[in-house]
Amino acid sequence: MPRALALLPLLLTAALVPSRAAAQCSPAACSSTHAYLSFESVAPGTSVEGLGAVHPDLSIASVAWPFGPTCTLGSAAAIEEGVSTPFAAYGTAGSFANGCLNGIRGFGDSQGCVLDYDFTFAPGVSVSCFSIRMLDYGDLFPFGGTTHTVTLTAYNASNAVVSTDVLTMLGGVDLVTGDACTAQASEPGNRLFTVTGTGITTVKLTFDAFPDPNCGFDDISFCEESAPTGTAKRTWGAVKGGYR
């Protein structure tokens, strides 16, 4: 099938311009401390959940998916390309475990079940930008449906919505744009979500009732606006050579 035809089922919401879909929280975009997590130093199977698990000021928490089979809470862990232990979060070209991460490592959860995610920050920390890459979404829809939506929502300390970034995919599976190894930047299989605004304290990644349960994540970045209570601002890790 020509690639132009393969793209027809894909709809990106009008609220998100294409350039933003490919943009990540960069040092230049930060007025203060920039953080970037490549997961390259996190061994496969290591839990990524809890404050300080992958960054001193970030907490990742899995949340039960409300629509069907949810994965075990607290089971989100680092994954590695070509390594199916402790699990393959997804398979590219049908069976290659965790293929085409940005580098060789990221994180995810077990296949066949779904988790939503909450991202919160250390006491006293708020951010002005938060970004995360989702990989291999859109080449499997076992729960049916014709509309498949993934939403990243940022909230402030008053629980008011600051910013949203929404991916909506229409129709059935797409083995080109939905595969991590063949998707282009901003397509569902290689989708960078970014939310921006003042005073972000919580970011939620949520799936609708008809998702692709087999996907992975990589490349978290954020811009800290304020320092942790009683501590100096910190940076974390080295930036991976180039973004996909």
CATH number at residue 170: 2.60.120
Residue 195 has pLDDT above 70, yes or no: yes
Q: Residue 224: what are its φ and ψ, rounded to 5°?
A: -80, 135
List the domain range (segments joined by +) for residue 33: 3-224
* 206 domain residue, yes or no: yes
Q: Is the pLDDT of residue 6 over 90?
A: no
Report residue 21's pLDDT band, with 50, 70 and 90 as the boundaries. very low
Task: Answer yes or no: is 57 within a domain.
Answer: yes
- Kindly give the pairing relationship between strand 10-12 and strand 161-170: antiparallel
* Alpha helices (H) in the chain, listed in sequence order: 3-6, 18-21
**Residue at token pair 């919580």:** 202
Separation CA 86–CA 78 (nearest Å): 9
Using an 8 Å Cβ cutoff, are 48 and 42 in contact?
Answer: yes
Task: Answer yes or no: is 216 within a domain.
Answer: yes
197-214 tens-digit pLDDT:
999 999 999 999 999 999
Residue 138 has pLDDT above 60, yes or no: yes
Q: Are 222 and 130 in contact (CB under 8 A)?
A: yes
The residue assigned the tokens 């994954």 is: 79
Q: How far apart are CA 199 and CA 207, in angstroms?
A: 24
pLDDT value at residue 95: 86
How many independent structural domains does the chain possess?
1
Instruction: Please name the helix (run of DSSP H) or strand (run of DSSP E) that holds residue 164, with its range, or none.
Output: strand 161-170
Backbone angles phi, psi at 228, to 5 degrees: -55, 150
Residue 97: the pLDDT is 97
Query: Could you tell me if residue 173 is inside a domain?
Result: yes
Domain-located, residue 158 = yes
